């Protein structure tokens, strides 16, 4: 009975918290706008264009409007249900924003600079190339380390191989590579002083492999623990148990769109390849982290969270809305589905990469509006199945909706 009462109380508190006044002074010259109108403008563009999505709109650190559309699970996976903002998904590369915040947190705690070198904090027995010994923490966070865009994988063995080779594109100022962030799970754990099983000076090949397997698990688990305590847990009471794998009995799934009869995917356990991807969260939890990061100092001093936005450390995009010219910063996560992107995938265009696709976004606007978004399929410009899926379409639609909504303040 007590459990039922507690559940009922939580539901009541949740409804009250998400039904607060939706009017905010964030339009031109502080014109008052309604955040539910922004939801409607987004829904007009995205409803019917994917299997499902969920979003949360926050203003100055306070969640104002939530919305869910479509399906979280389809009949072919059993336990079919509609999408809800309490459904968890693997955030893909939006996990990088969490990792950047964690790295900055531990650097700040240890009184280290983002311009310090990373190599003293990598596993002591790894062989490092000369180029790797020149990389700073900030270069990793801004994808300017010099690593090429060649993918080695984000597991222990492949990262060890990567740092032992010469940098391929050191002349290029910025090359996006997931390895930049995958390496941060080693750096965060080492900086925090977590105990890791050492590699003996003399050890057999089999013994070395056993120790490396142990180290891989220790680094991954301790990275998760650090984020739970210092980044996610301080953002909300439900967030200290978030991990890098599905935990629900019937987790939400990701699908192709237009929907076919194929089973969905939740992308599985990414504990051992985390930091650059893997965190399983709801849009409500995303919004709580996003707001805590930039509208409190529970995670970072304002100077550091501002640096993330200005230098794109943990974010990929800085821009302006096309008409109203409101500045924004953004990070996206993406798992390719059936088609991928022709420009990037070349001969692989048309092949199935995953049984389902996911798109996630953190988008923050200069008028203190933040949007946290997850779609569990491709998002199409039209319903024509031959239309190329565009990985940026959801964000483009959200930004266009914001532009329309913001300018409605001019007309009042």
Q: How far apart are CA 54 and CA 376, in angstroms?
A: 9
What six digits make up the tokens of 10? 């939580």
| Residue 232 counted as domain residue | no
Q: What is the pLDDT of residue 14?
A: 43
Residue-wise pLDDT for 188-210, tens only, equals 999 999 999 999 999 999 999 99
| Residue 237 counted as domain residue | no
Which CATH number is 212's domain given? 3.40.710.10
| Residue 16 counted as domain residue | no
Higher pLDDT residue, 376 or 4? 376
Higher pLDDT residue, 24 or 390? 24
| Residue 184 counted as domain residue | yes
Is 34 in the same domain as 173? no
| Residue 128 counted as domain residue | yes
Q: What is the pLDDT of residue 320?
A: 94
Q: What is the pLDDT of residue 381?
A: 59
pLDDT reading at 35 higher than 50: yes
Residue-wise pLDDT for 154-186, tens only, equals 999 999 999 998 787 666 778 899 999 999 999
Domain stops at, among 193, 227, 261: 227
| Residue 211 counted as domain residue | yes
Cα separation of the two ends of the chain: 51
Q: What is the CA radius of gyration of the chain?
A: 22
Number of domains in the chain: 2
pLDDT reading at 343 higher than 60: no
Residue-wise pLDDT for 236-270, tens only, equals 988 999 999 999 999 999 999 887 788 999 999 99
Reported as a pLDDT band with limits 50, 70 and 90, residue 9 is very low
Q: What is the pLDDT of residue 383?
A: 40
Is 364 in the same domain as 278? yes
pLDDT reading at 354 higher than 80: no
Which CATH number is 374's domain given? 3.40.710
Mean pLDDT score, 286-311: 98
Domain stops at, among 175, 198, 227: 227
Is 363 in the same domain as 253? yes
pLDDT reading at 384 higher than 80: no
Residue-wise pLDDT for 212-231, tens only, equals 999 999 999 999 999 999 99
Percent of the chain with pLDDT over 70: 87
| Residue 15 counted as domain residue | no
pLDDT reading at 290 higher than 90: yes
Residue-wise pLDDT for 54-90, tens only, equals 999 999 999 999 999 999 999 999 999 999 999 999 9
Domain stops at, among 227, 260, 285: 227
| Residue 347 counted as domain residue | yes
Is 313 in the same domain as 398? yes
Is 279 in the same domain as 401? yes
What six digits make up the tokens of 19? 């039904």
Least confident span in 67-76, 134-143, 302-311, 336-345 = 336-345
Reported as a pLDDT band with limits 50, 70 and 90, residue 386 is very low
Is 132 in the same domain as 210? yes
Is 342 in the same domain as 293? yes
Taken in order 140, 144, 145, 149, the sign of the CA dihedral is positive
Is 54 in the same domain as 160? no
Q: Give the domain range for residue 132.
A: 100-227
Is 129 in the same domain as 211? yes
The full 3-state SS of the chain, as one line of letters, equals: CHHHHHHHHHHHHHHHHCCCCCEEECCHHHCEEEHHHHHHHHHHHHCCCCCEEEEEEEECCEEEEEEEEEEEECHHHCCCEECCCCCCEECHHHHHHHHHHHHHHHHHHCCCCCCCECHHHCCCCCCCCCCHHHCEHHHHHCCCCCCCCCCCCCCHHHHHHHHCCCCCCCCCCCCCCCHHHHCHHHHHHHHHCCCCCCCCCCCCHHHHHHHHHHHHHHHHHHHHHHHHHHHHHHHCCCCCCCCCCCCCCCCCCECCCCCCCCCCECCCCCHHHCCCCCCEECHHHHHHHHHHHHHCCCCCCHHHHHHHHHCCCCCCEEEECCCCCCEEEEEEEEECCCCCCHHHHHHHCCCCCCCCCEEEEEEEECCCEEEEEEECCCCCCCCCCCCCCCCCHHHHHHHHHHHHHHHHHHHC
Is 255 in the same domain as 343? yes
Computed over every residue of the chain, the mean pLDDT equals: 89
What six digits make up the tokens of 188? 């965060």
pLDDT reading at 346 higher than 60: no
Q: Is the pTM of this model over 0.85?
A: yes
Is 310 in the same domain as 393? yes
Is 403 in the same domain as 265? yes
């Amino acid at each position: 009975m007590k459990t039922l009462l507690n559940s009922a109380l939580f539901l009541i508190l949740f409804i009250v918290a998400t039904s607060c006044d939706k009017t905010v002074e964030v339009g031109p010259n502080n014109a008052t706008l309604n955040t539910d109108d922004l939801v409607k403008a987004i829904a007009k563009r995205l409803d019917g264009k994917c299997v499902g999505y969920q979003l949360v709109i926050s203003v100055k650190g306070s969640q104002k409007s939530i919305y869910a559309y479509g399906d979280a699970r389809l009949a072919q996976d059993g336990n079919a249900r509609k999408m809800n903002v309490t459904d968890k998904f693997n955030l893909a590369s939006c996990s990088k924003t969490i990792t950047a915040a964690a790295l900055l947190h531990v650097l700040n705690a240890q009184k280290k600079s983002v311009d310090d070198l990373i190599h003293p904090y990598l596993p002591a027995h790894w062989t490092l190339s000369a180029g790797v010994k020149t990389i700073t923490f900030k270069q990793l966070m801004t994808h300017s380390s010099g690593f090429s865009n060649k993918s080695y994988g984000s597991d222990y063995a492949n990262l060890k191989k990567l740092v032992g080779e010469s940098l391929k594109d050191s002349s290029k100022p910025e090359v996006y590579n997931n390895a930049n962030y995958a390496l941060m799970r080693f750096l965060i754990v080492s900086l925090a002083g977590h105990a890791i099983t050492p590699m003996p000076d003399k050890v057999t090949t089999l013994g070395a492999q056993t120790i490396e397997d142990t180290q891989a698990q220790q680094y991954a688990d301790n990275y998760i623990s650090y984020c739970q305590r210092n980044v996610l847990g301080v953002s909300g009471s439900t967030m200290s148990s978030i991990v890098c794998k599905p935990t629900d009995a019937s987790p939400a799934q990701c699908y192709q769109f237009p929907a076919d009869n194929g089973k969905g995917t939740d992308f599985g356990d990414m504990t051992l390849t985390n930091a650059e991807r893997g965190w399983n969260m709801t849009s409500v939890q995303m919004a709580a982290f996003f707001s805590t990061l930039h509208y409190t100092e529970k995670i970072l001093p304002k100077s550091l969270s501002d640096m993330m936005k200005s230098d794109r450390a943990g974010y990929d995009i800085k821009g302006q809305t096309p008409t109203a010219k409101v500045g924004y910063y953004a990070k996206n996560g993406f798992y390719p589905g059936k088609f991928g992107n022709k420009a990037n995938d070349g001969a692989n265009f048309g092949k199935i990469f995953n049984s389902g696709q996911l798109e996630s976004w953190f988008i923050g606007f200069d008028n203190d509006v933040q949007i946290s978004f997850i779609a569990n399929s491709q998002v199409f410009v039209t319903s024509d199945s031959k239309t190329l899926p565009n990985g940026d379409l959801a964000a483009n639609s959200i930004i266009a909706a914001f532009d329309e909504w913001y300018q409605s303040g001019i007309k009042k």
